[in-house]
Structure 1
Amino acid sequence: MTATKHLLAMIQSHVARDDQRFLAVVEHIAEEASRSGKFKVAGDIRGLVEAARRKSERRDANTVPIVAPRGELAGLLKASYPDVALSNLILNPDLDRRVRSIVREHKDRQLLEARGLNPRRKLLFSGPPGTGKGMTAAAIAAELGLPLFTILLDGVITKFMGETAGKLRLLFDAMKATKGVYFFDEVDALASRRDADNDIGEARRMLNSFLQFLEDDKSDSLIVAATNHRVLLDPAIFRRFHAAFSYAKPTPPEARLIISNHLAQFDLTTIDWASIDEITDGLSQADLVAVANDAARDAVLDNASEMTTEIILRAISDRVALHDL
C-alpha cells in the first residue's frame, strides 16, 4: 500500500472513530518499514501502537464498572460503553437520516424543551438477523456518551406467576435511576401477540406488564427494542413506541461498502467488485463484516498482506456455506 493509501485509510478510520482499524493501518506501516530495513522506525511505531492499546484497555477497565449492575439487576442487565460511531454503520440513506435525527434530538434536547417538545426515546427496530439493529443501538449510545444496557431476557422471563412483572419493574426503575440506552433484543419474547396459543396465563400477564411499564415510563433514558419477526409482536405494542425503523439485508453497493470499509488497511484498487457483487446477495451486514475479517486474516497469513479478489470470494463462499448447514 502506498503512503497516500495509508494516509487515506488512517483518515477514514479517524473520522469513523475506529481506533482498532487505525492501529491496524499503523501496524501495516510498521511491517513495510521493517521489510525495507528501517528496523528502528518499525520498532518505534510498534511501541506506540502497544502503548495506545494499553491505554485503551485501562480506559475500558476503568469505565464500565462505574455503571455495572449490582444485586438483582446483575442478572437482568449487561452494561457497556460502546465506541461505535454512526459513520461505522452502512445503512440505506433514509434509515441513516432517521437514526441521525434521533441522535440530534437528544444532543439538542434543550432547544426542543424550550418549545415544549421532547426528543423521541422509545424506538422499535425490526428486520432480519445481522442487519445492524444492535449495532445501531450501540452507535446511538456512543454518539450520546451514554452506557448501553442490554437486557438479559433469560434472566427476566420466568415461569412463576408475577415474577417476570417484578423483574420488569426493576428494569424500568433502573431507567429512571441511571440514564442510558436500554436495549431489548428479541423483544417478541416479551411482547408476542395475544393469540389462541398464548392468550392465557403468565404470557398474557407478562405482555400486559411490559405494555404498561413501557407506556408509563417518563425517564430520560432511551428504550430500544429489536425483533427479527415483526409479525409476532402484539399490535398493542406499536403505539407505545415513538418511532419504528425497518432494517433489510444490504444491497450489492452497500455490501461492497461494508467489505471495503473493513478492509481499509489493504490496497483494494485491483479488486474485481463486479464478481463480488454477484454473490453477496442474501448476506447480512454481520455476515459481510465476518467476510472482511476472514479475508483480512487470510491475506495477512497466506498472501504477504496483499488482498486479492480470490481471497474475498473464498471468504464469501465459506460464509454462504455456513448458511447451508
Structure 2
Amino acid sequence: MARADQLKALLRAYAGEEDAQFAAIALQMAADEAQKGHVRLAAELKALVEAAQARQQSKPLVRPGPVPMAQPKGELAELLTVRYPRHHLLEMVVAPDVEAKLKRVLKEQRSHDQLSGHGLSPRRKLLLVGPPGTGKTLTASVLATELRLPLFVARFDTLITKFMGESASKLRLVFEALKATRGVYLFDEFDSLGLQRGSQHDVAEMRRTLNMFLQLIEQDTSESIVIAATNHGDSLDTALFRRFDDVIRYSAPNEAQIEQLLRNGLAILENPNMDYAPLIQVALGLSHADIARACQDSMKDAVLEGLPHVSFESVLLHLQERSASLKALKSS
C-alpha cells in the first residue's frame, strides 16, 4: 500500500492543482508497488496516469478569459502590489499553537455573519512576529487563498519618504483602499515603520507615520484583514500590540517539524531508504525556508544526474551549506 507521506504529497498536489507533480507522485507510487511485487496494481496505476495525461494533451488549447482582479490604480499602484496566491493551510508546517490561531482566524472570518448577528467582529488585525523564513509571509498567502481574497503587499520603499507629512498621506491612501476593496493587506518588515518611539533609530517622519498608522488601524472598521509582520518584535513600539486582535509568534522548526518539512520537500523524489535522523540534527536551527530550499536543491541534483531518488549525501550537503551560512551570518 502507498505510504502516508506519498498520499499527503498526492493530496497537496491535487489541492494546488499541480498536474505535473500529481502525475509524478502517482508514477512513483506505481514504481514502489512494482518493487514490492504488485505488478498488476503497478500497471493499472501507470495506465490510469498515462490515460489522464493523454486526455489532458488532447484537449483543445483554449485561451482563458480575463480573470477579474483588484488592481491598484493611480498613486496606489506605487504603494501596493497585488497577487492571488495558491497556498493552503495544509501545506504549512508550524507549531500547534500557531496552527490553532490561524484556524481560529479562518473560522471567525467564515462565520462573519453569525458573529455580526450578535454584535461581534471576527479577528482581522494580526501581528506576526518571528525570525526570517519561519512562515510569516506564507501565512498572509494562506489566509488570502483560504478566504479567496486578493493579497495586497504594502511597498515600504515608496510608502516611507523623507518629506514631512507625505508618508502619512500615503498611508492614509492605503487604509482607504482597505475599505474600498476587501482583501488581505500585508505590511511586511513592519519594524521599518513600527520602531520604538524615542529609540536611536527614530526620526521625525517615521514617528509621524507611526502615529498615523496607530490612529488608522484603531479607526479601521473595514472587512479587510490587516497583517503586520516583523523579524524584530522587541524593537516594536509597545503601543502597537494592543491595536491588533492577535499576536502570533513564529519560531524555527523543532525536530518533528523538520522531519515533516524534509518529507514534504522531498516527496516527489523521496528515497524510501532515507535516514532522516542525521539530517534532522544538521537542520536544527535552520528556518522553514532554508530547509525547503535545501530540499529543492537536492531534487535538482537528482534530476540533473538522472537519479530516480534524491541521495542522502546531496540533502546532507545542502543542509550543511545553509547551516554554515547561518553561523557565518550570526558571527559577523
Q: Does TM, scored on the shorter chain, surpass 0.5?
A: yes
CA shift at 1:314, angstroms? Answer: 1.7
In structure 2, the partner of 1:109 is 112
Shift of residue 153, structure 1, vs aligned partner: 0.7
Structure 1 residue 224: Cα displacement: 0.3
- Identity level (%): 37
RMSD of aligned Cα (Å): 3.0
Q: 1:164 aligns with which of 152, 163, 167?
A: 167
Q: Identify unmatched segments of 5+ residues in structure 1.
A: none
CA gap of 1:10–1:104, structure 2 versus 1, over 3 A, is same
Choose which of 232, 236, 254 in structure 1 pairs with 2:235: 232
| Structure 1 CA distance for aligned equivalents of residues 92 and 120 of structure 2 | 28
Q: How does 1:1-325 map to 2 (within 5 A)?
A: 8=7, 11-14=10-13, 17-20=15-18, 23-27=20-24, 46=53, 62-63=66-67, 66-198=69-201, 201-323=204-326, 324=328
CA distance in 2, matches of 1:200, 1:94: 36
How far does residue 300 in structure 1 lie from its aligned partner after superposition?
1.7
Query: The residue matched to 1:225 in structure 2 has which SS?
Result: strand
SS for the counterpart of 1:128 is: coil
| Cα separation, 2, equivalents of 1:111 and 1:229 | 36
Shift of 1:302: 1.3
In the TM superposition, residue 43 of structure 1 has moved relative to its aligned partner by 7.0
CA distance in 1, matches of 2:279, 2:141: 29
C-alpha distance in 2 between matches for 1:45 and 1:195: 63
Per the TM alignment, residue 97 of structure 1 is displaced from its structure 2 partner at its CA by: 0.7
CA-to-aligned-CA distance 1:125-165 (integer Å, 9 cap, x gap): 00000000000111011100100001111110000000001
| Distance change (3 Å), C-alpha of 1:309 and 1:173 | same
Residue 311 of structure 1 and its aligned partner are, at CA, apart by 2.1
Structure 1: which amino acid aligns with 2:200?
Answer: D
Distance in structure 2 (CA, Å) of the matches to 1:171 and 1:300: 45
State the distance in 2 between where 1:7 and 1:200 align.
53
- Verify the 8 A CA contact 1:23 1:49 in the aligned structure 2: no
Q: Aligned-pair distance for 1:77?
A: 0.6
Residues 269 and 308 in structure 2, CA contact (< 8 A), matched pair in contact too? yes
User: Is the 1:9–1:265 contact (alpha carbons within 8 Å) kept by the matching residues of 2?
Assistant: no
SS of 2:242's equivalent? helix
Secondary structure of 1:244's counterpart equals strand
Helix, strand or coil for the counterpart of 1:191? coil
Q: Matches of 1:71 and 1:101 in 2, distance apart?
A: 36
The alignment partner of 1:131 has SS state of coil
Q: CA deviation at 1:3?
A: 7.1
Aligned partner of 2:278: which letter? S
- 2-side partners of 1:51 and 1:201: how far apart? 63
- Aligned mates of 2:5, 2:230 — CA distance in 1: 39
TM-score, scaled to structure 1: 0.87
Q: What letter is aligned with 1:23? A: A
CA distance in structure 2 between the aligned counterparts of 1:194 and 1:10, rounded to whole angstroms: 47
**Contact 1:149 1:180 (8 Å CA) reproduced:** yes
3-state SS of the aligned residue for 2:189?
Answer: coil
| Contact 1:27–1:46 under 8 Å retained in 2 | no
Structure 1 pair 292–179 and aligned structure 2 pair: CA distance change class (3 A): same
**2:175–2:216 contact (8 Å) kept in structure 1:** yes
CA distance in 2: counterparts of 1:320 and 1:48, whole angstroms? 45
Match for 1:24: what amino acid?
Answer: Q
Q: Are the counterparts in 2 of residues 193 and 235 from structure 1 also a CA contact under 8 Å?
A: yes
- Per the normalisation by structure 2, the TM-score is 0.85
Distance (Å, rounded) in 2 between the aligned partners of 1:126 and 1:178:
26
How far residue 288 of structure 1 moved from its aligned partner, in angstroms, is 1.0
